[in-house]
């Protein structure tokens, strides 16, 4: 996965409206008007959100007759998930202990100099 793809994915996921849309699409494909229904925003605003999700590869849009449908891309989050899981192999860092260690090391260096 390229850095640009990860950036697009995480930027798309940063917005709560887009995350809610993805959750809705977990159930089934939806028409754009149905996606827009629960939100208190214009159809144009929802279309912008959908465009960002599509650009990130998280959803696909297709026209069926006069209706535009959205569907979740099932493997879209796989690469981002794999990238995030790679951080799980390390122990959680205690930042307070790390800060104390650095302060001690830095003060020791200044005394030695």
pLDDT computed for residue 113 by the predictor: 55
pLDDT (tens digit, 9 = 90+) per residue, 87-110? 776 555 566 777 777 778 777 765
Dmax (CA) of the chain: 77
pLDDT (tens digit, 9 = 90+) per residue, 61-90? 999 999 999 999 988 888 888 878 777 765
For the chain, percent of residues with pLDDT exceeding 90: 58
Write down the pTM of the prediction.
0.73
* Domains, the chain: 3-112 (1.10.10.10)
Mean pLDDT of 15-33: 95
């Amino acid at each position: 996965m390229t850095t640009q793809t990860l950036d697009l994915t995480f930027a798309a996921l940063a917005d709560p409206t887009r995350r809610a849309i993805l959750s809705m699409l977990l159930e089934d494909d939806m028409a754009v008007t149905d996606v827009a229904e629960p939100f208190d925003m214009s159809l144009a605003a929802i279309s912008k959100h959908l465009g960002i999700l599509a650009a990130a590869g998280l959803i696909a849009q297709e026209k069926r007759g006069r209706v535009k449908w959205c569907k979740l891309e099932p493997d879209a989050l796989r690469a981002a998930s794999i990238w995030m899981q790679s951080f799980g192999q390390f122990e959680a860092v205690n930042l307070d202990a790390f800060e104390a260690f650095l302060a001690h090391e830095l003060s020791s260096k200044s005394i030695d100099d």
